[in-house]
Amino acid sequence: MLDYKKLIASKIKAPLETAELLSMITETADDSFGDYAFPCFRLARVMHMSPAQIAEKLCAETELDEHIVKVQAVNGYLNFFVNRSELIREVISDVFAARGKYGNSDMGCGKTVCIDYSSVNICKSFHIGHLSTTAIGSALYKIYSALGYKVVGINHLGDYGTQFGKMIVAFKLWGDRKTAEREGVGELQRLYVKFHQEEPSHPELTEQAREWFARIEKGDPEALELFELFKRITLDEVKTVYDRLNVKFDSWNGESFFNDKMDAPLQMLRDKGLITESQGAQIVDLTDYGMPPCLLVKSDGSSLYATRDIAAAIWRKREYDFDKCLYVVAYQQNLHFKQFFKVLELAGLDWAKDLVHVAFGMVSLEDGAMSTRKGNVVLLKDVIDKSVAKAKEIISQKNPDLADRDKVAEQVGVGAVLFSALENSRIKDIVFSYDRVLNFDGETSPYLQYTYARCNSILEKAGDYKSSKIPGDYRVLDDPETLRLIKLIGSFPQAVKDAAAKYEPSVISALLIDIAQAFNRFYIEHRVLSDDLTEQNARLQVVEVTASVLKRGLALLGIEAPDKM
């Protein structure tokens, strides 16, 4: 689609740089005032005239063409009217030409983005608290891929620490292989909880756990064999959830992978004079930057998260030569990321500026918070299962004769769960409600899917429309509802770019809701199927491009669009 803002900026004869002009041009909220507006108030001091006078002067000096057909000066604003039938033709042609990939570009060609997300903990439940990092990270993976970047999805497994010594002790005391294989992570979680229940009255368990973890670090065969068993059981289970959520990873290198890769970074920091000792521990003093010290090695010689994350960042830069490395992690870890990013910056690594903490809020259910140690967790699998079951119930009531009801219920239920983490700004805390996310009339994934299915139903009723499709006479679409819908569709490629630039999939979610609402207003106000074949053909093309963009936008969020509901 033509960049109308850039075209308008080239026509405004004002004493401002092009970039500043572009930043001031906005789309109008009311089509009667044109399509784009330029406020003249900032120019008053420079041009020594009132904003109204400036608008009149600039209006008289603006040249019209086949794209900009009218300019008005109104109350200090310069309002631009575009050739609307040409705009509609252009948007529809662009969507058809994209063949289902509208919004794709090659802007990221030759660049690599690493995205660290989900990062499940071995031996612990994959619970509702992992929803946001998984959904946001996966959506960003798909968005950056659509923009031509090479994307590396990283599941930085939590597979290192004394908790694995605790797990071995618990397993040897109260567990067995057959039960663990059969019950999966639920059994490992039971053992983990039991250890913490017994530990206060049996302090010797803590020392045994340290000893077993030390054996893991030293490569003891029995310790490693049990650790690998726990890891396999955990990953087999979580991968089934990832498959349902349409989530993929290119790397499963967790914390333990970097166990033998920390010495070199630590030595580099010592050589640069950044590490000092404090009560036997090794730290980087960040007082001058308004932060507490970054603790790298404890007094007993053990490493910490920051040490492993520094080693991981250095390894990833060497392995992937990334242009950006994103960490999709909850906002509670803000300080941690600020600290280790600053340490890498102080070490003189210029690529430290390319590390980005993509923070997000917390997820909870309506009945409260969770605790892994106490066993009070809500499994993500159970949330998905319940959402799918509720979706099937609703679909059975709305369309009892629907074919593939189970498949559609899965698409709707899973989509509802994913969309709940992607519909608003990622930094907001989320209280998950089944009734709300499965509302077919609200700003939800089922509403988007239902609108897409409605589009398909209209196209199906049109019979041989697709086989006889010819360019429409878009002059018959000169109405506010169609114009509003087409403008929103035309803004989709920029929304994809904005979502990547802001690390904010909700940019796409919000636009899809706007498109669906605009389409339903269009559908209510205008009869699509009619005896006037010229008008029908044009309106059917509007329906088709709406369906295409809804399906594409949902796909970028990891959500499937059923053809019928």
- State the pLDDT confidence band at 344, using cuts at 50, 70 and 90: very high
Q: Are residues 165 and 215 in the same domain?
A: yes
- pLDDT value of residue 469: 58
Q: Are residues 125 and 70 in the same domain?
A: no
SS3 53: helix
Within-domain flag for 275: no
What is the rounded CA–CA span in Å between residue 419 and residue 140? 14
467, pLDDT greater than 80:
no
CATH number where 67 lies = 3.30.1360.70
Longest dimension (CA), the chain: 87
- pLDDT value of residue 367: 65
Within-domain flag for 68: yes
**Residue 284 falls in which region: left (phi positive, over 0), alpha (psi -120 to 50) or beta:** beta
Within-domain flag for 156: yes
Instruction: Classify residue 442 by its DSSP letter.
Output: S
Within-domain flag for 287: no
Within-domain flag for 100: no
CATH number where 205 lies = 3.40.50.620
Among the listed residues 490, 479, 468, the one whose alpha carbon sits nearest the alpha carbon of residue 537: 468
Per-residue pLDDT averaged across 132-136, rounded? 97
Q: Are residues 359 and 401 in the same domain?
A: no
How many CA atoms are closer than 13 Å to the CA of 152, on its beta-carbon side? 20
Within-domain flag for 372: no
Q: Are residues 51 and 119 in the same domain?
A: no
- Residue 80, exposed/middle/buried by CB under 10 A (0-12, 13-18, 19+)? buried
372, pLDDT greater than 50:
no
Q: Are residues 322 and 461 in the same domain?
A: no
Q: Are residues 447 and 538 in the same domain?
A: yes
Q: Are residues 469 and 389 in the same domain?
A: yes
What confidence tens digit (pLDDT) does each residue in 41-71 have?
Answer: 999 999 999 999 999 999 999 999 999 999 9
Within-domain flag for 404: yes
441, pLDDT greater than 80:
yes
% the chain with pLDDT above 70: 97
Number of structural domains found in the chain = 3
Which of 364, 390, 414 marks a domain boundary? 364
Q: Are residues 342 and 463 in the same domain?
A: no
pTM of this structure: 0.92
334, pLDDT greater than 80:
yes
Q: Are residues 124 and 27 in the same domain?
A: no
Whether residue 338 contacts residue 291, with contact meaning beta carbons closer than 8 Å, is answered with yes
Quote the mean pLDDT of the chain: 93
Q: How many residues does the chain have?
A: 565
- State the pLDDT confidence band at 468, using cuts at 50, 70 and 90: low
Within-domain flag for 117: yes
% the chain with pLDDT above 90: 82
Kind of pairing, strands 275-278 and 294-297?
Answer: unpaired
CATH number where 403 lies = 1.10.730.10
Q: Are residues 337 and 386 in the same domain?
A: no
- Residue 526, exposed/middle/buried by CB under 10 A (0-12, 13-18, 19+)? middle
Q: Are residues 126 and 189 in the same domain?
A: yes
| Three-class SS of 388-433 | HHHHHHHHHHHCCCCCCHHHHHHHHHHHHHHHHCCCCCCCCCEEEC
**What is the extent of the structural domain holding 18?**
4-82
396, pLDDT greater than 50:
yes
What is the rounded CA–CA span in Å between residue 87 and residue 92? 9
Q: Are residues 166 and 223 in the same domain?
A: yes
Instruction: Classify residue 100 by its DSSP letter.
Output: T
373, pLDDT greater than 60:
no
What is the rounded CA–CA span in Å between residue 363 and residue 474? 46
What is the rounded CA–CA span in Å between residue 182 and residue 187? 9
